[in-house]
């Protein structure tokens, strides 16, 4: 039996369902939550080849009318305005009407793009997330943020559009390239550090999860979603100036700078950048006296144990300290050039600050690089 996690938002409650064999039972799982049996699936070509047949059968079994199957090329490049337009045209050409639910089958790219399409098609269609990467199951499918990239930066056009239900079928993770699976663990480890007891579980069971242990994966997805859902419910639209959703940026000030320096060329996956960012955030916290000295090593040791890069020097290329500093000052979360960091006092005790002296960050990057 799958686990069901309620997400009680002011705009309506929905469930995250986590378990195995969910695609094949999609019809029965979705029917009670949707206004009609008319649906359209948006996916990427790689995911569709592996998992769309199972979802199609599951929908057919529930008596669903699948009006359109819209496939985009795999990869971040599909998260752009011109692709949004193509998806919208294909949905409407397929006969989507106001009662038609858009189902996103895929990773975060598909979820963000299809969710944005659902938010604006006919001024808003019901939406369902069927995340198929670990990153999407533990992070992007919960929270309601959708959008595409602009030349000006990542995720700069978008909308909040909450799903009617999220089906996280852990079986789909078994076909993921191992590097993509490991990258998703970067966000699981982040959630562990934010939550507390989940961190110790990660240390104990992370390697098993990365080896494909179904029960460990299920627990990681469920507890990650529980943490993220709790944070999102407390701060639905990212308005809490401190704490709230901002805490989910643990490791991300560094990660965004690393990714931006690579020009999103695939050298670094987001979760890999986050892993290095977690190591740096722990080190910075310890250097500033917030966190005891054994913690940075403990964080890095865990990341290494699941095959993630833990330090700058583990990455396939070098980074100039000046360039990273420049990027961090320009991060969209920075205000008036003051870098924002999420720091730790321990597992389960994170806080945000804009008060870190730049010289301390610079010294850390020089010593670590």
Asked about 249 being catalytic, the answer comes back as yes
Question: Is 252 one of the annotated binding-site residues?
Answer: yes
Contact between 20 and ligand NAD (CB under 6 A)?
A: no
Residues 331-360 that bind ligand NAD (CB under 6 A): none
Cβ 313 to ligand NAD shortest distance, Å: 24
Question: Is 95 one of the annotated binding-site residues?
Answer: no
> Stretches 90-98, 175-183, 191-199, 214-222: which one binds ligand NAD (CB under 6 A)?
175-183
Query: Is the Cβ of residue 76 or residue 86 nearer to ligand NAD in the bound state?
Result: 76
- Which of 9, 50, 262, 334 is in the footprint of ligand NAD by CB under 6 A? 50
Asked about 25 being catalytic, the answer comes back as no
**Size of the chain in residues:** 369
Question: Is 109 one of the annotated binding-site residues?
Answer: yes
Eight-class DSSP state of 312: G
Catalytic residue among 79, 245, 290, 340: 245
Asked about 252 being catalytic, the answer comes back as yes
Phi, psi for 148 (deg, rounded to 5): -130, 170
By CB neighbour count within 10 A (0-12 exposed, 13-18 middle, 19+ buried), where does 346 fall? middle
| Structural element, H or E, at residue 69 | strand 65-72
> Taking CB positions, which residue lies at the least distance from ligand NAD?
108
Asked about 245 being catalytic, the answer comes back as yes
Asked about 123 being catalytic, the answer comes back as yes
Q: What is the DSSP string of 4-55?
A: EEEEEETTEEEEEEEESSTGGGHHHHHGGGSSSSEEEEEEEHHHHHHHHHHH
Contacts (Cβ under 8 Å, ≥6 apart) of 137: 18, 131, 168, 170, 173, 184, 221, 224, 225
**Do the bridges between strand 145-150 and strand 153-160 make them parallel or antiparallel, or are there none, so unpaired?**
antiparallel
Q: What is the DSSP string of 203-233?
A: HHHHHHHHTT-HHHHHHHHHHHHHHHHHHHH
Residues 135-164 that bind ligand NAD (CB under 6 A): 135-136, 139-140, 143, 145, 154-155
Catalytic residue among 238, 311, 333, 362: 238
Instruction: Judge whether 123 and 105 are in contact, CB under 8 Å.
Output: no
Question: Is 112 one of the annotated binding-site residues?
Answer: yes
Catalytic residue among 203, 226, 249, 259: 249
Q: Considering only CA atoms, which of 306, 22, 42, 5 is closest in space to residue 170?
A: 22
Contact between 2 and ligand NAD (CB under 6 A)?
A: no
Phi, psi for 265 (deg, rounded to 5): -95, 5
Asked about 259 being catalytic, the answer comes back as no
Residues 213-272 that bind ligand NAD (CB under 6 A): 270
- Which of 52, 102, 110, 117 is in the footprint of ligand NAD by CB under 6 A? 110
Residues at the binding site are 108-112, 132-133, 145, 154, 172-175, 187, 252, 270
Chain contacts with ligand NAD (rule: CB under 6 A): 44, 46-47, 50, 74-76, 79, 106-110, 112, 132-133, 135-136, 139-140, 143, 145, 154-155, 172, 175-176, 180, 270
Q: Which residues are catalytic?
A: 123, 145, 187, 228, 238, 245, 249, 252, 256, 270
């Amino acid at each position: 039996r799958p686990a069901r996690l309620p997400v009680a938002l002011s705009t309506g409650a929905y469930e995250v369902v986590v378990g195995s064999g969910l695609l094949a039972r999609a019809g029965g799982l979705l029917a009670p939550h949707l206004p009609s049996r008319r649906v359209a699936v948006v996916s990427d070509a790689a995911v569709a080849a592996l998992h769309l047949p199972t979802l199609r059968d599951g929908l057919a079994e529930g008596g669903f009318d699948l009006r359109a199957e819209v496939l985009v090329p795999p990869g971040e490049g599909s998260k752009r305005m011109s692709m949004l337009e193509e998806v919208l045209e294909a949905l409407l050409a397929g006969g989507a009407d106001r009662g038609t639910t858009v189902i996103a089958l895929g990773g975060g790219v598909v979820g963000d793009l299809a969710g944005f399409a659902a938010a604006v098609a006919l001024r808003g269609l019901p939406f369902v997330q069927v995340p198929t990467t670990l990153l999407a199951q533990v992070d992007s499918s919960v929270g309601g943020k959708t959008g595409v990239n602009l030349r000006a930066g990542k995720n700069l056009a978008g909308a909040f559009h909450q799903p009617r239900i999220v089906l996280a079928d852990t079986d789909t993770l078994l076909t993921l390239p191992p590097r993509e699976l490991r990258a998703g663990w970067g966000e699981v480890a982040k959630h562990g550090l934010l939550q507390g007891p989940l961190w110790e579980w990660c240390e104990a069971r992370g390697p098993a999860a990365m080896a494909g242990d179904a029960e460990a994966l299920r627990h990681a997805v469920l507890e990650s979603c529980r943490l993220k859902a709790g944070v999102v419910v407390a701060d639905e639209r990212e308005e809490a100036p401190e704490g709230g959703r901002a805490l989910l940026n643990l490791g991300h000030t560094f990660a965004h700078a690393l990714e931006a320096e690579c020009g999103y060329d695939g050298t670094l996956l987001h979760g890999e950048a986050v892993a290095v960012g977690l190591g740096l955030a722990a080190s910075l916290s310890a250097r500033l006296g917030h966190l005891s000295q054994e913690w940075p090593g403990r964080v890095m040791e865990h990341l290494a144990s699941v095959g993630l890069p833990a330090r700058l020097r583990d990455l396939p290329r070098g980074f100039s300290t000046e360039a990273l500093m420049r990027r961090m000052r320009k991060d969209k979360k920075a205000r008036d050039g003051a870098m924002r960091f999420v720091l730790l006092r321990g597992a389960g005790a994170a806080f945000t600050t804009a008060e870190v002296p730049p010289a301390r960050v610079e010294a850390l990057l020089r010593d670590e690089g």
